[in-house]
């Protein structure tokens, strides 16, 4: 019996068998996306593998793995792009892979992301299965796979690694495994700044459990101790790296914010993004893009409202809400917002639940059609000029 649910978590072998349809479907969708990317890139005389492993953030992670921190690019407008903006877990794993195998750092990054994407898919299934059942779990994984920016899951980026750690941390919270949840939250906090969303989810669930315990006459000494330990572990990754950056830069606890400011990135409540959308309405062709952005943001907001109305567990609501808020309210890199929303998989659970109520052939047909569109869009998008 756990704090949040009376069902016991299954063993690893039975859990893998239960998740097998979701993982096989995920593999098929990702294979389709990689095939489309390969064909599109070949037609443009580009290397699909280079696009996956040596572009934008992937280059920054590889440089950290190869040379460590301290690299900066001084831009013509005076901005300073420092690699301290990139959290260390993925570069650490790239360096480990390059040390233990013949792989290059970039190759190791691709392998880490590939394995992490399947771990993320399994974690998403575990969470959705626990909350809504197996059919919804399978469809949640497939929906995550067929997102328009799903190709990022196969890139040497940190999104797949972060989503894997976040999903399994949330599953550990839901099944009352507090030390595991806190440890995974710690690692998520070493992966991306949005790791604070996982920390907040662990803390919200922990505080709620302590409050419930006050009204329960049964003693909970050992359980309270492990819960408190998990909560103490959770923020150490994020806090440790942020404080280290502050020490390295000599700017104290807020030094990491200065690093992000050098990239013109920060949190402004969505003001800059709103201006970006408003600027789209200055001409007719771009106005269509503006309408699309408004519809997209509205859809995200509506999905979160549905999550609340359907009574998703508190840790999922906290995690999904913070990931969404940080993605939409960041003050720069507007073209990257769909990618930044990639870890917000709880938003997909209402759609997964709806698809699970359809007959299997019908839901499979819907997902197959979206998978083809996603594969084509991903190939087009990654071959474009802007950063994904």
Q: What angle do CA 130, 160, 73 make, to 5 degrees?
A: 150
Residues 6+ away with beta carbon under 8 Å from 315: 170, 173, 174, 201, 202, 204, 205
- Burial, 54: exposed, middle or buried (Cβ in 10 Å; 0-12, 13-18, 19+)? middle
Buried (b) or exposed (e) across 145-180, using 16+ Cβ within 10 A?
bbbebbbbbbbbbbbbbbbbbbbbbbbbbbbbbbbb
**What is d(CA 184, CA 231) in angstroms, rounded to the nearest whole number?**
11
Measured from the Cβ of residue 111, the count of other Cβ atoms closer than 10 Å reads 17
**pLDDT, block means (10 residues), the chain with 388 residues:** 50 87 97 97 95 94 96 90 96 97 96 98 98 96 96 96 98 96 98 97 95 70 86 97 95 92 88 88 86 93 96 97 94 86 97 94 94 96 80
Q: What is the pLDDT of residue 221?
A: 65
226 neighbors 178 (Cβ within 8 angstroms): yes
List, in sequence order, every beta strand (DSSP E) within the chain.
Answer: 72-74, 80-82
pLDDT recorded at residue 6: 41
**Predicted structure pTM score:** 0.94
**Radius of gyration of the CA atoms of the chain, in A:** 21
State the pLDDT at residue 387. 62
DSSP per position, 159-189:
HHHHHHHHHHHHHHHHTT-HHHHHHHHHHHH
Q: What is the pLDDT of residue 1?
A: 35
Q: pLDDT at position 176, please? A: 94
């Amino acid at each position: 019996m756990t704090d949040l649910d009376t069902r016991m978590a299954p063993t690893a072998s039975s859990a893998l068998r239960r998740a097998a349809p979701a993982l096989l479907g995920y593999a098929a969708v990702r294979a389709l996306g990689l095939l489309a990317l390969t064909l599109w890139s070949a037609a443009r005389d580009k290397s699909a593998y280079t696009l996956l492993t040596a572009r934008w953030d992937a280059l920054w992670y590889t440089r950290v793995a190869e040379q460590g921190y301290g690299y900066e690019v001084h831009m013509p407008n005076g901005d300073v792009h420092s690699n301290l903006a990139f959290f260390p877990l993925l570069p650490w794993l790239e360096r480990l892979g390059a040390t233990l195998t013949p792989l290059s750092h970039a190759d190791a990054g691709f392998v880490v992301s590939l394995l992490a994407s399947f771990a993320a898919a399994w974690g998403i299934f575990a969470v959705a299965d626990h909350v809504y059942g197996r059919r919804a779990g399978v469809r949640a994984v497939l929906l995550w796979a067929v997102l328009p920016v799903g190709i990022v899951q196969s890139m040497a980026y940190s999104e797949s690694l972060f989503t894997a750690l976040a999903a399994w941390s949330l599953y550990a919270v839901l099944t009352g495994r507090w030390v595991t949840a806190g440890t995974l939250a710690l690692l998520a906090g070493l992966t991306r700044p949005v790791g604070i969303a996982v920390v907040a989810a662990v803390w919200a669930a922990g505080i709620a459990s302590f409050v419930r315990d006050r009204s329960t006459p049964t003693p909970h000494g050992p359980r309270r101790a492990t819960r408190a330990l998990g909560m103490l572990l959770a923020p150490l990754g994020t806090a440790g790296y942020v404080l280290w950056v502050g020490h390295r830069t000599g700017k104290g606890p807020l030094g990491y914010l200065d690093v992000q400011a050098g990239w013109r990135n920060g949190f402004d409540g969505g003001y800059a993004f709103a201006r970006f959308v408003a600027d789209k309405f200055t001409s007719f062709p771009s106005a269509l893009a503006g309408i699309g952005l408004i519809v997209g943001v509205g859809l995200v907001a509506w999905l979160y409202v549905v999550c609340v109305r359907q009574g998703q567990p508190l840790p999922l609501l906290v995690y999904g809400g913070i990931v969404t808020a940080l993605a939409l309210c960041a003050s720069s890199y507007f073209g990257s917002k769909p990618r930044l929303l990639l870890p917000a998989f709880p938003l997909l659970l209402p759609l997964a639940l709806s698809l699970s109520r359809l007959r299997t052939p019908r839901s499979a047909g819907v997902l197959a059609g979206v998978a083809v569109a996603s594969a084509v869009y991903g190939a087009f998008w990654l071959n474009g000029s802007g950063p994904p």
